[in-house]
Amino acid sequence: MVLGQLGGSITRALQQMSNATIIDEKVVSECLNEISRALLQADVQFKMVRDMQANIKRIVNPDDLAAGHNKRRIMQKAVFDELCRILDPGKPSYTPKKGKTSIIMFVGLQGSGKTTTCTKYAHYHQKKGWKPALVCADTFRAGAFDQLKQNATKAKIPFYGSYMESDPVKIAAEGVERFKQENCDLIIVDTSGRHKQEAALFEEMRQVSEATKPDLVIFVMDSSIGQAAFDQAQAFKQSVSVGAVIVTKMDGHAKGGGALSAVAATKSPVIFIGTGEHMHEFEVFDVKPFVSRLLGMGDWSGFMDKIHEVVPTDQQPELLQKLSEGSFTMRLMYEQFQNMLKMGPIGQVFSMLPGSSSELMPKGHEKESQAKIKRYMTMMDSMTNDELDSTNPKLMNESRMLRIARGSGRSVREVVDMMEEFKRLAKIWSKMKGLKIPKKGDMSALSRNMNAQQMSKALPPQVLKQMGGMGGLQNLMKQMGNKDLGGMFGGER
Ligand SMILES: Nc1nc2c(ncn2[C@@H]2O[C@H](COP(=O)(O)OP(=O)(O)OP(=O)(O)O)[C@@H](O)[C@H]2O)c(=O)[nH]1
């Protein structure tokens, strides 16, 4: 995602400002110009950037930026708040209710990822116990029905469409009626797209909307369309009552600023983002963590919330204690492997630690990876309690490795491989050492309790670089004692 570059540019602009000996209007203006340039480069619409600049100038009082005050924090918070304000239209979108029929119509240009997104949306709800169904009202593109049919079959979602019927309005109405009879609670209507905004497309969309009376119209937008986002989104909004936005292809080279424009143009919130071609590459969109990431601030709240969300309450203290101790043992690795195989909750948390499971269980190689993990576990079954509980990798000398290989019927090479994996995971685990775990939602407590060294180890290297290295991070950390900054990390404010 190119979004990270935006964070880097903004951080640098703020850094330059706080380095200045005298902060006057000129320095503030320069800083704001720099930030505006970065936003424009990220495809945020020109008018929005201009308004934002004016707002920040109004909010930030030059006296507050005088010596002794934390200038960088004040500016950063103003930028953060402004971006959140733009992305939050102030009212939530229509929320379907499980068990009660809702009709959701998807609109967007051809190739925006509409059909893929319809299935992702259905699949997301299906996993949560809904009864979704898909209707293909795209009669314009040959193959659209086949694509939807294929996706729907793979995800085991009922679908409706026709090879013969050329009237999309008729298909949409029939499909919706059929699935109402079948008591589906989420009826998703995929409509035609065109290469560009055309009168015929909008007329067809309007008619489908009239015939199906959707509870929610979702506008699907490809994040790489750049500055064209605002006009495109507005054109759709003028034809049908768009109530929510889904931004796709956020995994590519998209600059992401278009998302801000789509919200402004439709006055509707972004509800999900697409992060890949596969069904599960679909994320709920949350404004604050998104802006944190946009500003290169990292998303600690996501990690901590995940712990609170997926780990049973009685297991939380133990896991958090182990994380904070940072000492990794073979036994802990064994338990994590067990959990990963079961896809148990701790396995999920473990897999969120940077670099931990993507290497151990690369996508598309799950079977081989599982077999490897099982082999490792067999070898660990031949280890003594002392070996399992030791934090000293030197304990594993040649004769111990030979014994384990013999005992488990595996080769010494495999035992050595397992030890390498152990060292790699222990290194990742140790980055969490000293982490004091805040109460749910209180992220500022987390930031207060980490020192710059610990944080720098835990941050991805490119993010650290964007923050101006260790120096930049230390500066930032100094500002983090303040509760207000907790909001930047998605916590309570
Ligand atoms: N990388 C990436 N690719 C995506 C994403 N969403 C969709 N795609 C791909 O984008 C291409 C177009 O997606 P479709 O779902 O066919 O687009 P559409 O808007 O339905 O197109 P029409 O039916 O012609 O209007 C496909 O190759 C998808 O796999 C995403 O979030 N990330």
Q: Give ipTM to 2 decimals.
A: 0.96
CA distance 295 to 311: 29
Nearest-atom index, ligand 1, CA of 274: 31
Pick the residue whose CA is nearest to atom 21 on ligand 1: 111
Q: d(Cα 464, Cα 88) in Å, to the nearest integer? A: 28
113 within ligand 1 shell (Cβ under 6 A): yes
Structural tokens at position 167:
């009237």
Burial class (CB in 10 A: 0-12, 13-18, 19+), 314: exposed
Question: How far is Cα 412 from Cα 239, in angstroms, rounded to an integer?
Answer: 68
Long-range pairs, 431-436, Cβ under 8 A, ≥24:
431/326, 431/353, 431/354, 431/457, 431/458, 432/323, 432/324, 432/326, 432/353, 432/458, 433/324, 433/325, 433/326, 433/327, 434/324, 434/326, 435/323, 435/324, 435/326, 436/324
* Contact predicate 482/70, CB 8 Å: yes
- Residue bearing the CA closest to ligand 1, atom 29: 277
Of ligand 1's atoms, which has the minimum distance to the CA of residue 281? 31
Q: How many Å apart are CA 66 and CA 208, to the nearest integer?
A: 59
- Atom number of ligand 1 nearest to Cα 144: 23
361 SS3 class: coil
Q: What is the pLDDT along the chain (493 residues), one digit of tens a residue?
A: 345 566 667 777 877 777 777 777 788 888 889 888 888 887 788 888 898 888 888 887 766 666 556 666 677 778 888 888 888 888 889 999 999 999 999 999 888 999 999 999 999 999 889 999 999 988 877 788 888 889 899 889 999 988 888 889 999 999 999 999 999 999 999 998 876 667 888 888 999 999 999 999 999 999 888 778 888 898 899 989 999 999 998 876 666 777 778 888 888 999 998 988 888 888 888 887 677 656 655 444 445 555 555 556 676 667 667 766 767 788 877 876 776 666 544 445 555 554 444 455 554 556 677 788 888 889 999 999 999 988 777 888 989 999 999 999 999 989 998 888 888 777 766 766 655 444 444 433 344 444 555 555 555 554 455 455 666 555 555 543 333 333 333 332 2
| 491 Cβ below 6 A of ligand 1 | no
**Please, which contacts does 358-361 make with residues 24 or more away whose CB atoms are closer than 8 Å?**
359/424, 360/421, 360/425
